[in-house]
Chain A
Amino acid sequence: MTVPASAPLDPPDPVAAVARRRRLRPVTPVPWRRPLALTGVGVIGAWVVIAIFAPLIAPYNPLAQKFAILAPPSAAHWFGTDELGRDVFSRVLYGARITLPLAVILIIAAMIIGAVIGGIAGYFGGWVDNVLMRVADLVFAFPGIILALAIAAALGPQLRNAVIAVVFVSWPSYARLVRSLVLTARSAQYVVASRLLGASGVRILFTDIRPNAAGPVLVLAALDIGNAVLLLSGLSFLGLGAQPPTPEWGAMVAEGAQNFNDWWVGMFPGLAILTVVLAFNFIGDALRDMLDPRTARAVRP
């Protein structure tokens, strides 16, 4: 749209125009044209539906131990049964109600904690920045699963503690990212312009920096959910997260490892984890690619 320099004949009400557009504008960009991203969205969508409607879809009670033990997949039990005679299919479906919400809550918590810490470090700089970033570095120094393991073990084997452990391990990435975004944005000319108009630091963080930081942070979050799912499942696999008889996928894979010959016990929960992680990765990749063309647009002939 090239706006001509001459004044228009009859300008519509500008206040209403802005208000109208504001309601219609989507909050996050939608990955329309990329097949992988669409697949990802589709898969996650399917899992969300499953998670919500599991009680209606699942053929049996996931905790009911009344079926044949270790029966292979059949018409009655699509995914077979496990060593306690429970229907694996129902358990996989119910597992979605644990893993998905927890992973999302976990990432949101890590994102908020990390963003606040990173934002403070980036904006104020100096010793505040130093201290906060060294703490982040300390956490980074350990491989994620090991540190999460240690924390979960120390807190006690419970799903709640596993979630806390993974949050603790995840926040530094957000802190680092937000810090660098804030640092770059601080010296941006539009921030200087805002300061000349009398904007305070807080206002600049919210109005000028946040819109530019939101994108990269969301991309990181999308890619990270997959990671969170893996960590949670990993902890449960090791016995530190979900406790029996909770139908959590990681714990189910652990059972499957003990019953190696009965491949269906571990394979289906494993596939469930795989599909969710891959789907989130596809979405994250697409989001990241969508952010890139912005710089390409600034090329002048």
Chain B
Amino acid sequence: MSDTVLELAGVAVEYGRRGQRLRAVDGVDLTVARGEIVGLVGESGCGKSTLARAAVGLEPLAAGAVTFEGRAVASLGRRRRPEFLRGLQMVFQDPYESLNPRRKVGEIVADGVRLGGGSRKDGLRRAAEVLERVGLPATAAASYPHEFSGGQRQRIAIARTLVTRPSCLIADEPISALDASAQAQIANLLSELVQDDLGLVLVSHDLSVVRQVADRVAVMYLGRIVEIGATDVVWGNPRHPYTEALVAAIPRVGAGVLPTDLPGDVPDPAHPPAGCRFHPRCPLAQDSCRELDQRLAPVQGREIACHIRSGGGPP
């Protein structure tokens, strides 16, 4: 097993003022190794984006710790981000917002080199290299972001992170703002890059793409991971009721039936349900679910947070 490059232990992130605090992420454990893609899926309000930001150091932690290559990741304050964190980078969702419209692509991409102490020439040369690595011509460096399509911009954004030779990338919904062909292209690009010994956390609400590309997948609901394991295992045979609902809700080409919906709404994260957070909407819910707040336990080759399915009751 290749070495772990990023580790989250008991991570919690809170928002809100004194007296009215809301836990967007509540006790998450996650590891990412080089050469692996960990998918992080869940619906609105599950905290996956917050978790992604916390993993890269953009959110202060209310509890727990994030470790990158063995060193603690402190959240970004007023000062410069420490040198040793250069290998931990992020790809953002909106390619129209993540590139400065007033700067040339070459300069934007060369930033990583300049900020690492390199000269302007070095920067531009390295920029040309990575632009080609992501499938764009080196001449793209002389143009402005607005001259490119969404998919191309996202490649530029990825290139920008590559100049620092990262060992771990956190991609927060990198393809949702793109159209279909671009989505597939970027997903393929990310898979390729991981083979260069990079760890990738792929946050996405598009379950099909995560299924295609991720080695392991973690399903989040209301700030917690409810199921985590190898993608094939989790997808092919989901054991947590929420994961089952997610999989059943995906409309498939040629399925011939309407997807199943999940009744109810996601509860207010400021007032999560007592006990198991999913129980108000769970088809398996029993009285005990209101009291027992089950943590992740191994079941059939993956881990789930459901006491019924992990041997506490009939499956």
- Seen from chain A, the residues whose Cβ lies within 8 Å of a Cβ on chain B are 1-3, 5-8, 11-12, 14-15, 17-18, 21, 188-190, 192-201, 203, 207-208, 211-212, 294, 297-298, 300
Contacts and interface: CB of A to CB of B under 8 A. Distances in A.
Given A1-B143, A189-B97, A21 B135 contact: no
Interface stretch (B19-27, B82-90, B253-261, B304-312): B82-90
Interface string B112-130: 1001100001001101100
Contact of B78 (A5, A6, A12, A201): A201
Contacts of B136: 3, 5
13 contacts: A8-B137, A11-B138, A14-B125, A18-B142, A196-B58, A196-B81, A197-B112, A198-B115, A211-B100, A212-B100, A212-B101, A297-B146, A298-B146
B58 A18 contact: no
B142 to A, nearest CB: 4
Interface string B234-257: 000000000000000000000000
B18 interface: no
B152 interface: yes
A297 B145 CA distance: 12
Which 5 residue pairs of A and B lie closest in terms of their CB atoms, listed nearest first?
Answer: A211-B102, A11-B138, A14-B128, A8-B137, A189-B98
Nearest to B94: A189
Nearest to A185: B100
B99 interface: yes
Contact of A3 (B90, B101, B104, B137): B137
Contacts of B96: 298
A103 B98 CA distance: 39
Contacts of A300: 150
B135 A189 contact: no
Given A2-B149, A198-B80, A14 B142 contact: yes
Contacts of B90: 193, 196
B78 to A, nearest CB: 7
Contact of B141 (A18, A196, A298): A18
B80 A12 contact: no
B81 A195 contact: yes
A194 B106 contact: no
Contacts of A195: 76, 81
Contacts of B58: 192, 196
B140 to A, nearest CB: 6
B106 A193 contact: no
A198 B141 contact: no
A244 B178 CA distance: 68
Contacts of A1: 143, 147
B124 A198 contact: no
A149 to B, nearest CB: 40
Given A7-B132, A11-B128, A212 B102 contact: yes
Contact of B125 (A2, A15, A197): A15
Contacts of A21: 104, 142
A294 B146 CA distance: 9
A292 to B, nearest CB: 14
Nearest to A209: B100
A194 B86 CA distance: 11
B288 interface: no
Contacts of A18: 104, 106-107, 124, 141-142
A198 B83 CA distance: 7
B221 interface: no
B36 interface: no
Contacts of B108: 190
Nearest to B80: A200
